């Protein structure tokens, strides 16, 4: 039904072509009269269910396209219909609380939304004159992020990490926390991720009562590369409507931007392009920029994006990670080593960075405190080798104090999440920036040197550590 609405919105098709060849998801089509432009949508197969996007014009009569749906049943000589326009998706309030695929068709077993407009997924980034230059900090309620890696309102933040280090958990926690603070719209875009995760997220958001201000868009990992490659553009087009037409702030969560690059690599390989370094497509930088540059602050509203980035084999020099880094205002690096130490969220404070962490943006007090925390943790990191070889007793008293402070800071910067309550049995905590800074400052001033490290582990505010110690003393 969703596709039917969309077709009515497109020009009535009269330009017909014939399939010349089908190779996996790549289809070559011959048109005798009018050659469709790049990004045109073609339909063929039984009930016109096979959808093809034109990627290149081979000559004056032939185009080559990528199928966005499976190509079973296609054969040479089949009739192809030019829809007369690019892929269009629904935008508007009717999309809220719904789950869509790359075509804007609902996949939540409910009727297609009626109160919507249809808009092309291929849009230009906002011009420079319309962009906002204000720098504001976005509070997440997660201590280690707010203190050491402050996020920018309307900026782009990346969650970097290998498989199983907690990227999706951190993204889900941010949705929960932002609903408390954010009065805007959240759009979750799943690119090439597990369908199970999408279904769980939908149920969790429904139970938490935040679905009325959310849109979920999924291109699952079993879908053709063309669909996974375009699903990010679909979500972004929906986000741009709320920013430009309704002047609302939008939180765009992408899980996982590496799968977008991977889908582009598959499409490039199928199209017969020569791969560049490590097998990636030669056009990777252009494709990623085309998506990332549309995520921007304008004079009417802001799209803030948090993107999970899978790092192949934990190698941060991989071209996919390097290209993604260049677009971000904050990089949150998740570390497997911290998971082995039981420190959750497993964010590496020394590898993570933010362009917002300057005295002008976050204030001098916050800046100098963050620098002092980093310095303490860096000194502890350097001393770890000596401790491993000679033991803690061989350190000077000053170095021992640094180690004690750093270990207490590490434990205070852990935090129980709302989204993991059912697994850990610990009630989730939202901690304001003021409380997080106060706790870190008091630890650096050695107010808690008589406290056990476990008193500071997995708590919210520093007051909870005092309550824990009192409770221990009474028992």
For the segment 277-314, what is each residue's pLDDT rounded down to a tens digit?
Answer: 888 999 999 999 999 999 988 888 889 999 999 988 88
Render 42-92 in DSSP notation, one character per residue. EEESGGG-EEEEEEEE-SSSEEEEEESS--TT--TT-EEEE-SS--EEEES
Give the mean model confidence (pLDDT) for residues 436-454: 95
Stretch 181-196: mean pLDDT: 84
| Cα–Cα nearest to 89, from 121, 54, 61, 60 | 121
What pLDDT is recorded for position 208? 73
What's the mean pLDDT in 32-36?
92
- CATH 3.40.50.300 at 364-474, yes or no: no
> What does CATH list as the number for 89-354?
3.40.50.300
33: confidence class by pLDDT, cuts 50, 70, 90: confident
Q: Which residues are catalytic?
A: 167, 193-194
Domain boundaries, the chain: 16-85, 89-354, 364-474
Give me the pLDDT at residue 180, please: 63
Q: How many CB atoms lie within 10 A of CB 258?
A: 22
- How large is the average pLDDT for residues 237-264? 93
pLDDT band at residue 453 using 50, 70 and 90 as cut-offs: very high
Q: Provide mean pLDDT across the span 459-468.
A: 94
pLDDT at residue 7 is higher than 50:
no
Beta 214-219 vs 98-100: how paired, if at all?
Answer: parallel
User: How far is 311 from 320, CA to CA, in rounded Å?
Assistant: 8
Q: Which residue has the higher pLDDT, 430 or 184?
A: 430
Task: Give 83-126 pLDDT, tens digit per residue.
Answer: 999 999 999 999 999 999 999 999 999 999 989 999 999 999 99
Q: Compute how many other C-beta atoms are within 10 angstroms of the C-beta atom of residue 21.
A: 13
DSSP string over 370-386: HHHHHHHHHHHHHHHHH
The pLDDT of residue 14 is 77
**144: helix, coil or strand?**
helix
When pLDDT is averaged across residues 43-48 and rounded to a whole number, the result is 92
Q: What is the pLDDT of residue 182?
A: 66
pLDDT in tens, 351-396: 999 999 999 999 999 999 999 999 999 999 999 988 999 888 889 9
Share of the chain above pLDDT 70, in %: 96
> What local confidence, expressed as pLDDT, does residue 154 receive?
83
CA-based torsion, 183, 185, 189, 190: positive or negative: positive
Provide the 8-state DSSP code for 302.
B
Helices (H), 166-244: 167-181, 195-208, 225-244
With beta carbons less than 8 A apart as the criterion, state whether 191 and 255 touch: yes
Residue 218 · residue 99 · CB < 8 Å: yes
> Mean pLDDT, to the nearest integer, of 213-237?
95
Collapsed DSSP state (helix, strand, coil) of residue 23: strand
- Looking at domain 16-85, its CATH architecture is Beta Barrel (2.40)
Does the structure show a pLDDT above 70 at 181? no
Taking the CB of residue 226, how many other CB atoms lie within 10 A of it? 25
Residue 4 has pLDDT above 50, yes or no: no
pTM above the 0.85 mark?
yes
Q: What share of the chain is helix, strand, coil (3-state, %, to 5)?
A: 40, 20, 35
d(C-alpha 239, C-alpha 254), whole Å: 12
Look over the chain and give the mean of its residue pLDDT values, rounded to a whole number. 91
């Amino acid at each position: 039904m969703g596709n039917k609405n969309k077709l009515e919105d497109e020009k009535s098709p009269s330009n017909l072509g014939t399939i010349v060849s089908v190779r996996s998801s790549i289809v070559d089509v011959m048109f005798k009269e009018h050659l469709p432009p790049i990004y045109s949508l073609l339909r063929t197969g039984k009930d016109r269910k096979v959808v093809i996007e034109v990627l290149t014009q081979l000559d004056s009569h032939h185009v080559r396209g990528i199928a966005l749906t499976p190509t079973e049943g296609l054969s040479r000589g089949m009739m192809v219909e030019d829809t007369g326009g690019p892929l269009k998706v629904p935008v508007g309030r009717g999309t809220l609380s719904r789950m869509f695929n790359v075509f804007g068709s609902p996949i939540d077993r409910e009727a297609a939304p009626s109160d919507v407009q249809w808009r092309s997924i291929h849009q230009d980034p906002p011009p420079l004159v319309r962009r906002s230059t204000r720098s504001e900090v976005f509070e997440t309620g997660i201590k280690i992020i707010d203190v050491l890696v402050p996020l920018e309102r309307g900026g782009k933040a990346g969650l970097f990490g290998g498989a199983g280090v907690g990227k999706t958990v951190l993204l889900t926690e941010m949705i929960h926390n932002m609903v408390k603070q954010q009065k805007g719209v959240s759009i979750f875009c799943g690119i090439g991720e597990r369908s199970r995760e999408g279904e769980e997220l939908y149920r969790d958001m429904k139970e938490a009562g935040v679905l009325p201000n959310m849109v979920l868009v999924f291109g699952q990992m079993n879908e053709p590369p063309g669909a996974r490659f375009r699903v990010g553009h679909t979500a972004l087009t929906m986000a741009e409507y709320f920013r430009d037409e309704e002047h609302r702030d939008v939180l765009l969560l992408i899980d996982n931007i590496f799968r977008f690059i991977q889908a582009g690599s598959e499409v490039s390989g199928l199209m017969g392009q020569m791969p560049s370094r490590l097998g990636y497509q030669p056009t990777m930088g252009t494709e990623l920029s085309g998506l990332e540059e549309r995520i921007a602050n304008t004079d009417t509203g802001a799209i803030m994006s948090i993107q999970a980035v899978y790092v192949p084999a934990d190698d941060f020099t991989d071209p996919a990670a390097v290209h993604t880094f260049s677009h971000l205002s904050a990089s949150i690096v998740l570390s497997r080593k911290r998971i082995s130490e039981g420190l959750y969220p497993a964010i590496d404070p020394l590898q993570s960075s933010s362009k917002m962490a300057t005295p002008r943006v976050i204030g001098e007090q916050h800046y100098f405190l963050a620098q002092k925390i980093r310095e303490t943790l860096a000194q502890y990191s350097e001393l770890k080798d000596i401790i491993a070889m000679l033991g803690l007793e061989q350190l000077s008293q000053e170095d021992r104090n640094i180690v004690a402070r750093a270990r207490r800071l590490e434990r205070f910067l852990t935090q129980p999440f709302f989204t993991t309550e059912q697994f850990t049995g610990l009630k989730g905590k939202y901690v304001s920036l003021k409380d997080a800074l106060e706790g870190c400052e008091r630890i650096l001033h050695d107010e808690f040197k008589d406290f056990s490290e476990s008193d500071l582990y997995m708590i919210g505010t520093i007051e909870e550590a005092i309550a824990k110690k009192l409770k221990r003393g009474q028992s």
